[in-house]
Amino acid sequence: MALVYVVDDELNVRRIIKQTMENEGNEVNAFVTAEEALEAVEKRQPDLIFMDLTLPSMDGIQFLKELEDRAYSIPVLVVSAITSPESIRAVFKLGIVDFLTKPFTPQELRQAAELSFKNEESLQKRTREIRRLIEEKEFRKASSLLREFFADFPSSPYPHFLYALLIKSSNPRVAARHLRAALSLDEEFKEASSELKKLEE
């Protein structure tokens, strides 16, 4: 059973998401404002957050920045009627796992949630495994897994970061290029920024 938060000021949307996710066996807490959700996150971190972009007071993009500033690594699935390319690019740059356009069906909601759970679990698991292989100097195995990682998560900064760790001793120039690529995908990736500074010293 997963803990799911819903952040949306539309009562009907909150009800649909809550009922759909509870029917899948999840615990669901719903909030009208981003401020309420942040307070709840500080007390108990959820496994997934459904979030609208248009919210009273603090909007969805501000909410994502707050999560990032507080170093929370929580999968966020945006559910919104706003579909401008600029808004979609902005939220993906802030690390959301998916974008679901309103109106949506319960089936679309279930599929998006299932994919988000699987993707986040796979991303974290692969990151840990490849990092372990690099630390243990199993470079050939790490390189093989990284090729798959790049293919499966092309918009994630982690494959670039891990590849930089893998080759920084043998090819610091290319490593720096991959660290910059990681930072272009996540400007607040502190570990990538730190590694890049070391290479540029």
Which 8-state DSSP code applies to residue 9? S
Amino acid, res. 196: L
Residues with Cβ < 8 Å from 61, sequence gap 6 or more? 53, 87, 90, 91, 94
What is the C-alpha to C-alpha distance for residues 7 and 5, in angstroms, rounded to an integer?
7
pLDDT one digit per residue (tens) for the chain, 201 residues: 789 999 999 999 999 999 999 998 999 999 999 999 999 999 998 889 999 999 988 999 999 988 888 777 788 999 999 888 888 888 888 878 889 999 899 999 988 888 877 777 677 778 888 988 999 999 999 999 999 888 878 778 899 999 999 999 999 999 999 999 999 888 878 899 999 999 988
Has this prediction a pTM greater than 0.75? Answer: no
Cα gap 86→29, rounded to integer Å: 29
Identify the structural domains of the chain with CATH numbers, from first to last.
Answer: 3-104 (3.40.50.2300), 123-200 (1.25.40)
Q: How far is residue 40's CA from residue 107's CA, in Å, rounded to a whole number?
A: 27
Residues 93-112 have pLDDT tens digits of 887 888 999 989 999 998 88
d(CA 59, CA 42): 18
